[in-house]
Structure 1
Amino acid sequence: MQWDLVCNNAWKMPFSMSVYFLGVLTGSFVSGVLSDRFGRKAILFVTMAVQTGFNVLQVFSSSWEIFCLVNFLIGIGQISNYVAAFVLGSELLGKSIRITYCTLGVGISYAFGYMFLPLVAYFIRSWKMLLFTLSLVGLIYIPLWWFIPESPRWLLSKGRVQEAEAIFHHIAKTNGITLPEVLFSDLELEDIKDKNIKSFSITHLIKTHNIRSITIINLIVWFILAIGYYGLSLNTPNLHGDDYLNCFISGAIEIPANLAAWFFLQKFSRKLSLSGSLFFGGIVLFFVQLIPSSISILATMLVMIGKLANTCAFAIIYTYTAELYATVIRNTSVGVCLMASRLGSIISPYFFYLGAYYEFLPYILMGSLTVFSALLILLLPETINFPLPDTIDQMQRMKGFKNAWNHRYYLNTNETTTEVNCMAIKKEEL
């Protein structure tokens, strides 16, 4: 094995993955702040270039240390473009299609990429050639620069009204709708400028009791979700059966998981959908310890079902978190929540080392944490059937931690000119 990653050096294999997730952790914070300051589109394409470029450079790593350093930089680029793309799509699309994008669009695309990996790896056994081949896929993004617009919500939050109006008119033309030449009155423009032209820092995520409570709960839940998701994913080679087939199934299971997330978000409340998925996934992991070693394939099936529920919850929480926060801090909030999840992902490669003390201890711990997070979700506000808040003012009208058990959540849509115009374009309330 290259770089002698066996015996006394066996710890280097999971450590290299932890270094990658450390890069993801850094990128989660940096990309959120930069995207809220410089725009969703610019950060999306810059970080995609970073990821693709360093993927190619990693092929030429001369030592394990260099490999880890480049892995860290790849992690920064990978999560940064993922967050920027997710938030950009959430802000460009209407409510009904937004849910489809966040679950089926993002989730199933990721699942196909996941399934593609073991198929390519089966035929290309050299890790350098495999990495180089997969890196070339990143070049597909270049022509998309001319087709993807900037978020009009972000433009309005920065006072760049004319650019936002141009995008509104383009969207309206595409949908066969005629809008008035002037979308905003002088009074509305002044209101937008007063509310949104100032910069919003990460401290706004903890500035008031309601927002602070929402943020703390989200951080805990994202952290636990990452431990479960990446712990189960990285443990795939240790399951019964062929490694390539298990990896393929682990990716394929994400398709029904995202379909389930889409269905739940369409038919049920956000809290019920997310809490139910987490609770089911946690309970399933408890049952793994009850399966005799003689029928290990059944244990593998339960692990895959647990991963399905965990993946479903991950798809839902992206949508839920984006709906909880105002436009001016939405990208920062998603980035910070991803930071918490990456703290979980950093320790996830070592989680199954606890099996040395008791074989089923990792599953018991993951099951317990997942059920705990399911209960925490019940303390958050509900966002279904409410427009996305654009300002901190509107966000604070959502009743938070203290009143999470009643349903007196409301937003004054008349104060949000963005919602009114988007409603005209999409013929539906965002």
Structure 2
Amino acid sequence: MENADKALRTKMIQANEEIPFDDILIEYGEFGRYQKWIYSLLCLFILVTPAQALIMGFLSEDVDHWCKRAEWESIDCGRFGFNTSRQCDLGKRAVGIPWNYTDNDQTEKVYSSCTRYNTHGVEFSPDLDLDGYPVMPCDSGWKYGEVESGGTTLIKDFDAVCGQYYFVSLAQTLYFVGTGFGSIFIGVLSDRFGRRTVAFLCLVSTILSGVGLAFSPNIIMFLVLRCVVGVTNSGILYSTVVHANEIVGPSKRNWAGNVVWCFFAIGIMGLALLAYLIRNWRYLQLTVSVIPVLLLITWLTIPESPRWLLMRGRKKEAEDIIKRLARWNKVEIKESFNMDKVAAKSDEGGGLKRDLVELFRHPKLRCYTVNMMWQLFAVSSVYYGISLGTGSLEVNNYVAFAVSGAVDIPAAFFGIFAIEYWSRRPTYMFLVLLCGAVLLASGFLTPGVFKTVLAMVGKFAIAAAFNIIDLRGCEILPTVVR
């Protein structure tokens, strides 16, 4: 039967009869040498995207802080026996900052981070007892302890503490606001101007914005650029994933759609390594922003998606790519071959107009679209929530973060085989329920190794579910609005 189908496709192609685009890929190689080469290059774009998405946990490490007292800044601590400025700061904190014991045994003091005794008019002395003095908020800035990792943190550089601490969460929130905007806006641009063009424009924009983040003089500029990076970084990711799926034949799309996310996982592990080696937050941000410059040379190698070219009526360009594909794949193709009779109707939603609004005009496609949007929102929220929450597990953050990326690789391969045996819907439902169950159970555990294990099981499940729902979107939605 398979040989008969192949013979029929060959006859249609040679006769220049109208055929679906997928049949062209089946005839000249669904995942031959040419697609493997282009696919590998596109995966390098996926490799660099998680760094910008998940870097905030390493830029904003918590640091001990307490109120600065301007009236004591000019004190000569040497006459009190303090040999270093560090000893002097701790001595001032000991008497000038309210504190409480951390436990009933009264063995360890915890000093207030955001209040101080009102010491105006009070001369400093290590023997002062200010208990009972009025307490006031910090009014002269803050002093900082040592960062636990031995590096620097934007919290210290931007004074993002106490009433300003929300800036840290806001920076990550604005990134995802940019991602949401980018998935629509950049997606429309990708459908209009091409996967390749938009991916490279987004790459350049991400590099420039990322470098700007490293040199941000204040928190406002940092917040604005984080939002911009969210827009452009998501543009790289989604344009590239769609491009990678469009150059692969239908029987190989399951593999291609899942394996591509293994490179995202490797990018997560790479970020953990870079963060471990580079403890200065500005240098770390600069490094992850400059590395993608190397990808600019692939502009000369990566072609536009022939499926997109066909839908835009640029048949001659699509034809040249298919001929090149056939030569690389060592499949004979006649010089008379052309794309005039090739149609992409098999996956183009029955001739929908090239307009994003069409997704909501057709009842069945509207149902698919709304459902897909909800599923993607829910799954991505859990996925990134676990990825960004490894620091709260009270284990080594670098190791936990790397492991959270590593589990994405077996998750991708599990998705491949599970789809083949159980199909997409049952597999997806099982994974979502598994993730919910283990995360619910972990909520009753104290932070530690066992809770970390459950969190990683949840990450495995949600990563596999994410891959499946993303692949499903590429399969259902038409090329012009994919």
The answer to whether TM tops 0.5 is yes
Q: Is the 8 A contact 1:89 1:101 kept in 2?
A: yes
Question: Counterparts of 1:187 and 1:93 in 2: how far apart (Å)?
Answer: 20
Deviations 1:5-54 (A, max 9, x none): 12222211111111111111221111111111111111111111111111
- Kindly tell me: are residues 47 and 188 of structure 1, through their superposed partners in 2, closer, same or farther at Cα, counting changes over 3 Å? closer
Question: Counterparts of 1:185 and 1:165 in 2: how far apart (Å)?
Answer: 6
**Displacement of 1:90 after TM fit?**
0.8
Q: In the alignment, which residue of structure 1 is the partner of 2:208?
A: 53
Q: Is the 8 A contact 1:35 1:43 kept in 2?
A: yes
Q: In the alignment, which residue of structure 1 is the partner of 2:80?
A: none
Q: How many residues align?
A: 326
2:254 to 94, 99, 102: 99
Question: Counterparts of 1:186 and 1:107 in 2: how far apart (Å)?
Answer: 35
Question: Counterparts of 1:127 and 1:187 in 2: how far apart (Å)?
Answer: 55
Q: Is the 8 A contact 1:281 1:309 kept in 2?
A: yes
2:222 to 67, 79, 82: 67
Question: Counterparts of 1:126 and 1:150 in 2: how far apart (Å)?
Answer: 39
Q: Is the 8 A contact 2:394 2:448 kept in 1?
A: yes
1:158 to 307, 312, 317: 312
The correspondence of residues 17-28 of structure 1 with structure 2, limited to 5 A, is: 17-28=172-183
Deviations 1:346-372 (A, max 9, x none): xxxxxxxxxxxxxxxxxxxxxxxxxxx
- Kindly tell me: are residues 24 and 185 of structure 1, through their superposed partners in 2, closer, same or farther at Cα, counting changes over 3 Å? closer
- For 1:40, give the aligned amino acid: R
1:126 to 272, 280, 305: 280
Q: In the alignment, which residue of structure 2 is the partner of 1:174?
A: 328
Question: Are residue 139 (structure 1) and residue 293 (structure 2) matched?
Answer: yes
Question: Are residue 316 (structure 1) and residue 468 (structure 2) matched?
Answer: yes
**Displacement of 1:155 after TM fit?**
1.0
Q: In the alignment, which residue of structure 2 is the partner of 1:264?
A: 418
Q: In the alignment, which residue of structure 2 is the partner of 1:205?
A: 359
Larger strand percent: 2
- Kindly tell me: are residues 143 and 98 of structure 1, through their superposed partners in 2, closer, same or farther at Cα, counting changes over 3 Å? farther
2:170 to 5, 10, 15: 15
Question: Counterparts of 1:183 and 1:109 in 2: how far apart (Å)?
Answer: 36
- Kindly tell me: are residues 307 and 275 of structure 1, through their superposed partners in 2, closer, same or farther at Cα, counting changes over 3 Å? same
Question: Counterparts of 1:234 and 1:88 in 2: how far apart (Å)?
Answer: 28
The answer to which of 42-51 and 251-260 deviates more is 251-260
Question: Are residue 326 (structure 1) and residue 478 (structure 2) matched?
Answer: yes
Unaligned 5+ segments in structure 1 are 331-430
- For 1:270, give the aligned amino acid: R
Deviations 1:199-256 (A, max 9, x none): 6111111111110111111111111112211211221111121111211111112121
- For 1:150, give the aligned amino acid: E
Q: In the alignment, which residue of structure 1 is the partner of 2:68?
A: none
Instruction: Please state whether the residue corresponding to 1:182 is helix, strand or coil.
Output: coil
Question: Counterparts of 2:457 and 2:295 in 1: how far apart (Å)?
Answer: 33
What TM-score do the two structures reach when normalised by structure 1? 0.71
- For 1:25, give the aligned amino acid: G
- Kindly tell me: are residues 165 and 185 of structure 1, through their superposed partners in 2, closer, same or farther at Cα, counting changes over 3 Å? closer
- Kindly tell me: are residues 94 and 290 of structure 1, through their superposed partners in 2, closer, same or farther at Cα, counting changes over 3 Å? same
- For 2:467, give the aligned amino acid: A
The correspondence of residues 25-424 of structure 1 with structure 2, limited to 5 A, is: 25-104=180-259, 106-184=260-338, 200-291=354-445, 293=446, 296-330=448-482
- For 2:459, give the aligned amino acid: K
Question: Counterparts of 1:306 and 1:186 in 2: how far apart (Å)?
Answer: 49
The answer to which of 140-149 and 306-315 deviates more is 140-149
**Displacement of 1:95 after TM fit?**
2.5
What TM-score do the two structures reach when normalised by structure 2? 0.64
Question: Counterparts of 1:57 and 1:290 in 2: how far apart (Å)?
Answer: 42
Tell which has more relative contact order, 1 or 2 (C-alpha 8 A, sep 6+): 1
**Displacement of 1:100 after TM fit?**
2.3
Larger helix percent: 1
The share of aligned pairs that are identical, in percent, is: 31
Q: Is the 8 A contact 1:158 1:198 kept in 2?
A: no
Question: Counterparts of 2:266 and 2:284 in 1: how far apart (Å)?
Answer: 17
Question: Are residue 4 (structure 1) and residue 159 (structure 2) matched?
Answer: yes
